[in-house]
Amino acid sequence: GIQVEQSPPDLILQEGANSTLRCNFSDSVNNLQWFHQNPWGQLINLFYIPSGTKQNGRLSATTVATERYSLLYISSSQTTDSGVYFCAVDLFTGGGNKLTFGTGTQLKVEL
């Protein structure tokens, strides 16, 4: 099956710092999403981004499908950005959508 690798596994930032999270995947995909799991366990859909670039406030994401990676940028980080960031991809071979998740990047933003 498809492999999804995220880096770094852990990250500690001072509030106000910027960071880049990376997701590499092993095959061509037709769906890529970024999720944030907050400290209360909620999984929040950040971006649906199988290709191209999107921005939402302080967050932006870029997927280069031909090179099989995606990047999530967090600017001016805040303590509320803490949690785990997951990348998930789907091959969609016609058997239904089946997202494969990476192991996540654990982010802690400190004052």
Partner 1 sequence: DTAVSQTPKYLVTQMGNDKSIKCEQNLGHDTMYWYKQDSKKFLKIMFSYNNKELIINETVPNRFSPKSPDKAHLNLHINSLELGDSAVYFCASSQPNGELFFGEGSRLTVL
The site for partner 1 (CB under 8 A) is made up of 30-31, 33, 35, 37, 41-45, 48, 84, 86, 88, 90, 92, 95-99, 101, 103-104
Min. distance of Cβ 67 from partner 1 in angstroms? 21
Nearer to partner 1, 41 or 57 (CB): 41
Secondary structure (H, E, C), the chain? CCCEEEECCEEEEECCCCEEEEEEECCCCCEEEEEEECCCCCEEEEEECCCEEEEECCEEEEEEHHHCEEEEEECCCCHHHCEEEEEEEECCCCCCCCCEECCCEEEEEEC
Nearer to partner 1, 57 or 94 (CB): 94
